[in-house]
A = this chain, B = another copy of it.
Amino acid sequence: MATGRTHRPAASRSRGIPEATVARLPLYLRALTALSERSVPTVSSEELAAAAGVNSAKLRKDFSYLGSYGTRGVGYDVEYLVYQISRELGLTQDWPVVIVGIGNLGAALANYGGFASRGFRIAALIDADPAMTGKQVAGLAVRHTDELEGIIRDTPPNGVSIGVIATPAAAAQPVCDRLVEAGVTSILNFAPTVLTVPEGVDVRKVDLSIELQILAFHEQRKAGEDAEGKAGAAHAAGPPPRAAAKHTGSGPDGDIPAVMPA
């Protein structure tokens, strides 16, 4: 999984929906909406589970945390379930969101249709580069970082509570601090850094290079199984410099993912 929280270890479920279940609700919702568009009136747990890519026992258990929304012998009413899950996720209201860091990735996010269609409204695009200020991206004029606090506080009706960080790694923590200070309490972080936030602020992260590294691990594992015995790298490089204590320039492997496209 590409994601994680930073603070609040367990202080999440007030009335008891497990975190793992919450993470799957959007998946169910997507599958249900597709069924709804095809005018399918009801689904069984088996069918819906297949569409969402999970097993049916898990799906039923997940739904049991929300309440008894199914009909025994029949299945679930698609429309009704769409509504219930939307409500549970808080998607019946709309959430203004700011995106900070309008580089390649920030622009891609701004243009991403999946936001608007789920009740997320882009309240502002913010970038630190004065050359970007005023430029049109996804139909919105980019605003300068100076305006950040004002935008967060004054966006109707109650300010902005969700921020997306798509800046270079070095800028992420300062931007995060300013967002939080101005009132943001949920952050989606695309910068390859660990963000430190006060209690009560949620952080989720998406790290592209981490995902690839996890795939590489399994990929290597598969290759190792083919040619059993030589369980190492194929056309590898670099010996194990044990206990050198002294560094060698910048290490055997080079630098960190360092900077985001932004």
B53 near A255 (CB under 8 angstroms)? no
Q: Which bracket fits the contact residues of A?
A: 35 or more
Quote the shortest CB–CB distance from A261 to chain B (angstroms).
Answer: 5
Residue on B with the closest CB to A256?
A: B33
Instruction: Judge whether A10 is part of the interface by a CB distance below 8 angstroms.
Output: no
Give which listed residue, B93, B214, B258, contacts A113 with CB less than 8 A.
B258
A211 and B33 CA atoms in complex are apart in Å by 18
Asked whether B211 lies within 8 Å of A206 as measured between CB atoms, the reply is: yes
Residues on B with beta carbons closer than 8 Å to the beta carbon of A162: 212, 215-216, 219
Does chain B have a CB within 8 A of A86?
A: yes
Taking a contact as CB atoms under 8 Å apart, the answer to whether A245 and B77 are in contact is yes
Q: How far is the CB of A210 from chain B (nearest CB, A)?
A: 4
Whether B117 pairs with A53 at a CB distance below 8 angstroms is no
Q: CA–CA, A254 to B52, complex, Å?
A: 18
- Report if A128 contacts B (CB, 8 A): no
* A150 at the binding interface (Cβ < 8 Å): no
For A89, give its contact among B104, B114, B216, B234 (CB under 8 Å). Answer: B216
- A80/B212 in contact, CB under 8 A: no
Instruction: Output the nearest chain B residue to A215 by Cβ-Cβ distance.
Output: B186
The answer to whether A113 and B259 touch (CB under 8 A), given A80-B243, A213-B118, is yes
- A250 to B, closest residue via Cβ: B37
Q: Which residues of B contact A89 (CB under 8 A)?
A: 213, 216-217, 220
Q: Is the CB of A107 within 8 A of B109?
A: no
Q: Across the two chains, which residue of chain B brings its CB closest to A41? A: B245
CB-defined contacts of A23 to chain B, threshold 8 Å: 1, 210, 214
Which of A14, A92, A112 has most chain B Cβ within 10 Å? A112
Chain A, residues 221-257, CB within 8 Å of chain B (1/0): the string is 1101100000111111110111111111011111111
Contact with A243, one of B77, B107, B219 (Cβ below 8 angstroms): B77
Q: Does A65 contact B (CB under 8 A)?
A: no
Residues of chain B within 8 A (CB-CB) of A211 are 3, 188, 204, 206
Is the pair A261, B113 in contact by a Cβ cutoff of 8 Å? Answer: yes
A-B contact pairs, 5 of them (CB 8 A): A1-B2, A15-B231, A29-B213, A83-B240, A108-B108
